[in-house]
Amino acid sequence: MSLPTISLESLVSTKSFDKLLTIAKSTGCASSSCGSSAKPDEMDSAVWEKIKDHPCYSEEAHHYFARLHVAVAPACNIQCNYCNRKYDCANESRPGVVSEKLTPDQARRKVIAVANEVPQLSVLGIAGPGDACYDWKKTKETFERVASEIRDIKLCISTNGLALADHVAELADMNVDHVTITINMVDPEIGAKIYPWIFYNHRRHTGIDAARILHKRQMLGLEMLTARGILTKINSVMIPSVNDEHLIEVNKWVKERGAFLHNVMPLISDPAHGTHFGLTGQRGPTALELKTLQDRLEGGAKLMRHCRQCRADAVGLLGEDRGKEFTIDQISDDITYDASKREAYREVVARERGDHVVAKSEAIATVKAAGSSKSLLIAVATKGGGRINEHFGHTAEFQVYEASQRGISFIGHRKVEQYCLGGRGADATLDSIIAALKGIDIVLCAKIGDCPKDQLAEAGIRAMDVYGYGYIETAISALYAAEFGSEPLAATA
């Protein structure tokens, strides 16, 4: 008997959750069993439990789960040359940028409002807009208020590390399993080029003295977290000619001290942002420079490559920002939590993920079996769920995969202007999309018209929609096998 079909898309948009939940449960696929089938063989079960629903700590989970940042921590105890928190633009996506700062109670209401409407929500993060550990009282109060009402939400925090060691015991008491520390250097001479000052022990420190203190405190915080079994992710901002080569050393240091992930992010630098680096013309790395460094770091601390450099008030799947739907003026004072959407979604996702993992491992085996030394770069239009399910013209971000003898890997994303607005495509926009897709061999999407398809072909990029709505890796393996000699797989998931 075939199982009832429920798409993740219908679940996310539908109102009839009770019905969907009943159908999902009738498939006999409990989340505990299917969720565990997605666990990588080499991973410890306790670690998998912590990361399996976290969109940043698991690349696989980011296709299904969403985070919400609440901007409750505006104060900061250091100055980074790439930061200016006074600059605010609702369309800007980068760390430190927010449209609305919240009190802990406003944050509690916002989390409930999002949890009631965004079924993918699994993580509450505090990532500023200042430093969550320095502005500790508000961070702690927010976590406590939310955790008392939404018991299964994961708590996540991002910090520069200077005040971290003072709060590790409290983080452990609150069951915070995920802590990000931004570590851009382990050599204070390089640190002095990134941090003009820090505020520590009631006074301001500058230059190498400041960088030395920050470095020691970051290492201490990391070691304390590792000792308590709290998973740490290290964010490093790649700044060409300042710390790019040095990040290889950073990767070694954090690996030795137990970091779970290392996330190397490109410097975002623009004079309009008013940052020191922006105003002095310090450039960020190109996509190729970033990838080259990430490739050199393979084999060290495990890399995160799917970061979207979120705003401090981001809402939704990574790469998506639904913040405008949940401004505090739209949320009632006496809102109460309704778990039904999140529960229904999790039931369906558990089954879908099990299927996806099987399809993915078959696809990777096919690519490896081709035995070719060639590689393909593929840009995918997706709305989530691990499927090719977005139209070319509606895509604001392509996910990029590499197929090679090592298998199929997610290697990053390319942001683009949306081609199709108001039902029409714009030629100038298409030119910028083609520029953003430089180096890509193939574009996979759910639908594409002849005009953009032909212009992409002229630029040497093949675009196709024949694999629409199938699993991403299945389509890639079919293309790779067809291209490099083995038998192609069927084009369906």
Residue ranges binding ligand CLF (CB under 6 A): 56, 67, 69, 123, 125, 127, 156, 158, 178, 180, 233, 263, 307-310, 318
d(CA 36, CA 48): 8
C-beta atoms surrounding 4 within 10 Å: 11
Nearer to ligand CLF (CB atom), residue 31 or residue 159: 159
For residue 373, with 0-12 CB atoms within 10 Å meaning exposed, 13-18 middle and 19 or more buried, which class applies?
Answer: exposed
Shortest CB 26 distance to ligand CLF, Å:
33
Residue 14 contact among ligand CLF, ligand SF4, none, beta carbon within 5 to 8 Å by kind: none
Cis peptide before 4 (omega within 30 of 0): no
Among 96, 188, 266, 425, binds ligand SF4 (CB under 6 A): 96
Tokens coding 396: 């604001």
Shortest CB 178 distance to ligand CLF, Å:
6
Return the beta strands (E) in 186-230 as ranges: 197-200, 203-206
Residue 443 contacts ligand SF4 per CB under 6 A? no
- Count of residues that bind ligand SF4 according to CB under 6 A: 11
Residue 246 contact among ligand SF4, ligand CLF, none, beta carbon within 5 to 8 Å by kind: none
Residue 142 contact among ligand SF4, ligand CLF, none, beta carbon within 5 to 8 Å by kind: none
Residue 386 contacts ligand SF4 per CB under 6 A? no
Among 131, 244, 465, 473, binds ligand SF4 (CB under 6 A): 131
Residue 135 contacts ligand SF4 per CB under 6 A? no
Residue 76 contacts ligand SF4 per CB under 6 A? yes
Residue 275 contacts ligand SF4 per CB under 6 A? no
Nearer to ligand CLF (CB atom), residue 401 or residue 467: 401
Residue 109 contact among ligand CLF, ligand SF4, none, beta carbon within 5 to 8 Å by kind: none
Taken in order 93, 95, 97, 101, the sign of the CA dihedral is: positive
The DSSP output letter for 62 is G
Q: At residue 229, what is the residue type?
A: G
Residue 313 contacts ligand SF4 per CB under 6 A? no
Nearer to ligand CLF (CB atom), residue 96 or residue 468: 96
Give which of 303, 192, 197, 290 is closest to 254, Cα–Cα. 303
d(CA 131, CA 221): 14
Among 31, 58, 79, 122, binds ligand SF4 (CB under 6 A): 79
Tokens coding 63: 């296709």
Nearer to ligand CLF (CB atom), residue 246 or residue 308: 308
Q: Can you tell me whether residue 388 is helix, strand or coil?
A: coil
Shortest CB 76 distance to ligand SF4, Å:
3
User: Tokens 């084999």 correspond to what residue?
Assistant: 299
Residue 78 contacts ligand SF4 per CB under 6 A? yes
Q: At residue 20, what is the residue type?
A: L
Shortest CB 162 distance to ligand SF4, Å:
8
Cis peptide before 129 (omega within 30 of 0): yes
CB 86 within 8 A of CB 301: no
Tokens coding 329: 């003026």
Nearer to ligand CLF (CB atom), residue 283 or residue 305: 305
Name the strands in the sheet holding 66-69, side by side, starting at the edge strand that comes first in the sequence.
Answer: 261-266, 231-238, 178-182, 154-159, 121-126, 66-69, 315-316
Residue 351 contact among ligand CLF, ligand SF4, none, beta carbon within 5 to 8 Å by kind: none
What is the contact surface with ligand SF4 in residues (CB under 6 A)? 76, 78-80, 83, 85, 96, 128, 130-131, 160
